[in-house]
Structure 1
């Protein structure tokens, strides 16, 4: 789910091969959420617009859906399937990783949640946006080191068979802005874990798809052909033209030429925005109206990536 924030979109581009669809928040009521095995509400979300869809989201969980909410302002007043209580507690030292003996006051409590086998404590450690009071019905994935408050909770087997994961971590925003490498590592582990948790085998699904058999692309490859988000400074863009030939279910041939871009570091634009139809076949596409020739903002973010980020 996205409201169009650039960092959200970039993060979803990064993991398009592990997603089925991207839902625009302002059009959420047009969708049957029950068709999805899981719904992700990323951080840096428009909480006012999200609140307008609170009933639809809570009904999704009550009807057996799996909702995953990252750091959302006012989350305790949006989610009502469980009683959440948020506290304005943040890291004591937001520059903790720059100290001679760096320490962040978090822990993965015992017994460790299974997701901790995929995401290490180091990859959950940067900062958080407030904390949640511990709930007796939740499995706690990440807590403060004194065990007083929770930063990541999993509510399994809610009434109606639904499930809720909620965290005050904000990886999508930082990954999409291309700084704080720990957030990129978090998402690189989180999305494969989620697919395994749902029993989804993307390789088998792609190979079995009739779209895959009827779709050919020249110049554009699978999302996984793109370089991973880099921790190196951005290099200049290299612009390439690509021709896409496609014959979808309707049988009508489509042939168009779009500019595409790559960078050595994949910082900034990275893989271009994908359409849900093409992403179903594992294909990324660029629908930009003109080539990119560089991005001052991105290069600035790349420098911040090194100067201001835990590694």
Structure 2
């Protein structure tokens, strides 16, 4: 019988992050919370899955960068959620901020988000609703697979809002400019809860 994955979440103690960690639906994952300010970096050393919660303070996250990358190098799965300035510390990843349209489906606008790589195994875990709601930036990372692209108003590809990398490192990497922990813990935004749950299923498969 395979032992369950050891899952940790790097968080900053915000109300949304604490509410997410307290979600009864996530208890089967036995997520171990690591506070970005007080936890020891060695606490990452035994993790099979590392979740970098969205909206962490960049100055506090900085001391964790090299240790998160070390997790990828030893074969762990790392998921980095939105607004964590990944372009500054994830090798090969470029991130550009984009304005957020929170309620495009209410105004009748085009989200300009498009599914990609329909034959990728990750789509066995993600529904379209879970990955098309809103975003805070566009990612470019050669060698990765974009699951959801953002288009410009002219219909050109602007970048990815959700990508996976299963080849650059011994471990697996998922990066998104969406912020599911914040919206799940805050109790609003259709799709955020689905993205959080789906990404955890993908990471622990």
Instruction: Say whether the fold is shared (TM-score over 0.5).
Output: yes
Q: Which has the larger radius of gyration?
A: 1
Q: When the two structures are superposed, what TM-score results if normalisation uses the length of structure 2?
A: 0.82
Residues 180 and 116 (structure 1 numbering): CA distance in 2 closer, same or farther, change over 3 Å?
Answer: same
Offset of residue 30 of structure 1? 4.8
Paired with 1:190 and 1:164, the residues of 2 have a C-alpha distance of: 11
- What is the correspondence of 1:27-176 to structure 2 with a 5 Å cutoff? 27-79=38-90, 82-91=91-100, 93-99=101-107, 101-133=108-140, 135-145=141-151, 146-159=156-169, 161-176=170-185
Paired with 1:16 and 1:168, the residues of 2 have a C-alpha distance of: 25
Instruction: Give ranges in structure 2 of 5+ residues lacking alignment.
Output: 1-9
Report if the CA contact (8 A) 1:18-1:192 is conserved: no
- What is the correspondence of 1:267-278 to structure 2 with a 5 Å cutoff? none
Residues 84 and 30 (structure 1 numbering): CA distance in 2 closer, same or farther, change over 3 Å?
Answer: closer
- Secondary structure at 1:150 match in 2: strand
Offset of residue 106 of structure 1? 0.5
Offset of residue 11 of structure 1? 1.2
Q: Which runs of 4+ in 1 moved over 4 A?
A: none
Paired with 2:125 and 2:17, the residues of 1 have a C-alpha distance of: 22
Paired with 1:2 and 1:103, the residues of 2 have a C-alpha distance of: 33
Offset of residue 77 of structure 1? 1.4
Paired with 1:73 and 1:30, the residues of 2 have a C-alpha distance of: 18
Aligned residue-pair number: 190
RMSD over equivalenced CA pairs, Å: 2.0
Instruction: Give ranges in structure 1 of 5+ residues lacking alignment.
Output: 197-311
Residues 62 and 189 (structure 1 numbering): CA distance in 2 closer, same or farther, change over 3 Å?
Answer: closer
Larger relative contact order (CA 8 Å, sep ≥ 6) = 2
Report if the CA contact (8 A) 2:184-2:193 is conserved: yes
The equivalent residue for 2:3 is none
Offset of residue 70 of structure 1? 0.5
- Secondary structure at 1:26 match in 2: coil
Residues 95 and 111 (structure 1 numbering): CA distance in 2 closer, same or farther, change over 3 Å?
Answer: closer
Residues 88 and 164 (structure 1 numbering): CA distance in 2 closer, same or farther, change over 3 Å?
Answer: same
The equivalent residue for 2:6 is none
The equivalent residue for 1:23 is 34
Offset of residue 49 of structure 1? 0.2
